[in-house]
Amino acid sequence: MSGKTPSREIETLFREDRTLRAVVVDVAGSLSLLTRDQLDHEMTGRLGYGRALNARGDAAALLPQTGSALPPSLDLQAAAAAVLGLPEANRYQDLLVLAADGPRIVPVSEVFEGLSDVFRQAALHDPLTGLANRRHLEERGPSLMAGHGSAAAAILYVDLDDFKVANDTFGHRAGDAALRSFSVRLQACTRESDLVARLGGDEFALLLLDVDEPMARSVAFRVLRALEDPFIHEGHEFRLAATLGLAMSTDVAADETAAPLEYLLRHADAAMLQAKLEGKGRLGRIDPFRPVTRFARQALIRRRLPHALSSAGFSLHYQPLMDIATGACPGVEALLRWEDAELGKVSPDEFIHLAEQSGDIHAIGRWVMDQACAQARLWADAGTPRAISVNISPLQLAAGSLVQDLQSALLRHGVPTSLLNIEITETAAVVNLQSAAEQLRTLIDAGMSVFLDDYGTAYSSLAMLRDLPLTGLKLDKSFIDTIDTDPASAILVAGVIAPAKAIGLRTTAEGVERETQLAILRDLGCDTAQGYLISRPLPAEELDGRANSAEPPPWRPANPRRVGREGHLQ
């Protein structure tokens, strides 16, 4: 329709055809859309004089000031953004799409319905492999199982063995290519009625429907055989293996409180963990009639861990570090605690290594840094500044982003570097000694203290004290346990403290539980102590309550030696 078409003619056209939603108007070669709503608005608007004002007008005068024509090259997200950028009066009207085969009229509702489908597809599928993700499995799995009635179902939990080694050796692009290729091989091992999901990282789950145990085992062995062929990326050839765990729906006890899918995932994961301990590269199957508390709990920890941060399950407790010479408490160590709605209290010994395996340790580490800096800010503002020590995982150090993560947390809360210390283990340091040394030097130069934690439990090399930039070391509790009952232990501790002090390192003794231990450490020249004799780890508010009470704080020793003017013990 021409832009010069009289408005009365257009109004007659809409009146005679009640199904007509809009017409395309050509104004000097530019196409625009005139909808029924826009026509009614112009004819009835302007204080009721719209029809009189537009009686002698034409189609061009009826068009909205903001056009609603869109090029066909726009994707749904861009189209939705364009719609939302229109004036509110035009935002809900039909759109004109200028396609190659001619203009098309598209209801705006179709754009947002299509966008909703795109987002739902993205929310339920893994972006790397295109497989269903964990959420998809958890949402659709129960209905798939219910749809097969009494027929048996199975879960195969698949974990690639030593995938990180291949990733580090050949690069992340090769690792991603291998995951995509492995996903294709997994789907080839199953039927269309089965559901293959990537749970995250190098972990997958296969929901097999209408199968008995021999059939499920057959699928598992097909998966293992599918890994016999190497993966090839950019000329590099490498091989991967996998460990699988199997759980059958017939294992679910009648009084089992967990949902069937949740139960199967937990027990298939537990079977996989057990198989890994037995040698990897195999299928694990747990006898449903035997107790599997340890493996089932580990499997549940792995499943609950990604939700711990979002559900506020983590918290920090603080254990005072006492200056042995003065009895003062200038600092604390931040210790991570986790209490889960299903698991109850979970110790770091249970979940830290699982977090390192899953990669969740990086998000957890950043959370710890942020919380520690926030608490340091609170104590500084209250006039009771305390330096907080945080433990760093080997993976955090190996990632190379430790300096940036720490600096971001410090800047976010306006905390000076002197109020945040880090503790690393010997194992963390030797993964890549040069990279570790460079990062630690940067932190020390910025004013942060760096302690080598649990000294004596790993490589126990004095050379490490020379090769790594450090400000102090912490003697492991195993050294301190018998320091007051075994002369040899005291000699060993003295043999660590003396060279450390000679090269300017401060020393801290962990696990001090008796006054006799503290007295010997004082005589040996140890600088700092921590342990239950001084205080157990406490929430910040409880630590503040004790420090501000009229009674002596729990970290004050009974009879601290007096310090002379020159700083020597008297």
337-349: b or e for each residue (b if 16 or more CB lie within 10 Å)? ebebeebeebeee
Q: For the domain with range 7-116, which CATH number is right: 3.10.580.10, 2.60.120.10, 3.40.50.300, 3.40.980.10? A: 3.10.580.10
Using alpha carbons, list the distances in angstroms from residue 209 to 165, 217, 218, 295. 34, 13, 14, 25
Q: What is the pLDDT of residue 466?
A: 76
Among 248, 244, 354, 348, smallest CA distance to 299 is for 354
Amino acid at 110: E
How is residue 562 annotated by DSSP?
P
Integer Cα distance of 194 and 314 in angstroms: 36
- Rounded Cα–Cα distance for residues 493 and 456 (Å): 10
CB 517 within 8 A of CB 480: yes
**Are domains 7-116 and 308-540 of this chain identical in fold?**
no
Query: How confident is the prediction along the chain (570 residues), in pLDDT tens digits per residue?
Result: 676 777 777 777 777 777 777 777 666 666 677 776 766 667 776 545 556 566 667 766 666 655 556 665 555 566 656 656 666 555 556 665 656 555 666 666 665 565 455 556 667 788 899 999 988 898 888 888 887 665 689 999 999 988 877 777 788 888 899 999 999 999 999 999 999 999 988 999 999 999 999 999 999 999 999 999 999 888 888 889 999 999 998 876 544 545 678 888 888 988 898 888 888 889 998 776 555 556 677 778 888 888 888 878 999 999 999 999 999 999 999 999 999 988 889 999 889 988 887 788 999 999 999 999 999 999 999 999 999 999 998 888 888 889 999 999 999 999 999 999 999 876 655 556 788 889 999 999 999 999 998 886 655 456 677 778 999 999 988 889 999 999 998 998 998 899 889 999 999 999 999 999 999 999 999 999 999 999 999 999 998 876 655 444 444 444 444 333 233 322
* CATH number of the domain located at residue range(s) 308-540 in this protein: 3.20.20.450
pLDDT at 164: 79
Strands, DSSP E only, in 107-201?
132-133, 153-161, 195-200
Q: Residues 276, 196: contact at Cβ < 8 Å?
A: no
| Helix segments in 382-485, DSSP class H | 394-399, 402-413, 426-431, 433-445, 462-467, 477-480
What CATH class does 125-306 carry? alpha beta
Sorted by sequence, the CB contacts under 8 Å of residue 407 that are 6+ apart come out as 446
Specify whether the backbone of 201 is left (phi greater than 0), alpha (psi in -120 to 50) or beta. Answer: left
Q: Strand, coil or helix: what is 101?
A: coil
> Residue ranges of the domains in the chain?
7-116, 125-306, 308-540
Place of tokens 């290729």: 181
Sheet with 102-106, side-by-side order of all strands: 69-70, 95-99, 102-106
The reported pLDDT for the residue numbered 95 is: 63
**Three state DSSP letters for 40-71:** HHHHHCCCCCHHHHHCCCEHHHHCCCCCCEEC
* Residue 356: Cβ-neighbour burial (10 angstroms; 0-12, 13-18, 19+): middle
Contact present, 506 and 528 (Cβ < 8 Å):
yes
